[in-house]
Structure 1
C-alpha cells in the first residue's frame, strides 16, 4: 500500500512543532507533491522548503548543540 498525505502528516506536524520550539519556521514544510503523486513503494518525501538565512542559521545552531558541538 502506498503511503498517503494523511500517513505522513503527523510526522510533518511533529517536525513543525519541534522547529517552532526553537523559534524556527520553514514556510514550505510539507509533503513533496511529486513523490506523493508517484506510484513508488517508498513513502513520499518531506519537503523542507525554503527558509531565510536567519532560519538556516538557527537550524544549524540547534543541530550543532544537539550533536554536542
Structure 2
C-alpha cells in the first residue's frame, strides 16, 4: 500500500462507520429507542489492526450492522 492509498482507505472507513452509526441511530429511533451515548469507541478507533467498536454496550461494527438489519426487518 502506498502513502497515496492510505488516506482513501481511511476515509472510506470513516464514512462506513459514520454511515452505520447514522443508520443505527435512525433505526433505533424508528423503534422508539434512543441511545444518547451511541458513538464509536475512541480507543478501538485508534487501533489500526482491528475494526472499531460501536459504543452502545460495546458491540463490534458487524454486530451493529446486524442490529440495523434486524430492526429494519422487524419494522417491515
TM bucket (normalised to shorter chain) is: 0.5 to 0.7
Please give the alpha-carbon distance, in whole angstroms, between the structure 1 residues aligned to 2:31 and 2:18.
20
Cα deviations by residue, 1:5-40 (Å, 9 ceiling, x for unpaired): 433110010000000001110011010100001132
Q: Name the count of aligned residue pairs.
A: 50
Structure 2 residue runs without a partner (length 5+): 1-8, 58-70
- Structure 1 residue matching 2:26: 3-state secondary structure: helix
How does the TM-score come out when normalised to structure 1?
0.58
Higher relative contact order (CA 8 A, sep 6+): 1
Please give the alpha-carbon distance, in whole angstroms, between the structure 1 residues aligned to 2:45 and 2:52.
5
The structure in which a higher percent of residues are helix is 2
Residue 27 of structure 1 pairs with residue 27 of structure 2: no
Match of 1:43 among 32, 51, 55: 51
Offset, 1:4: 4.2
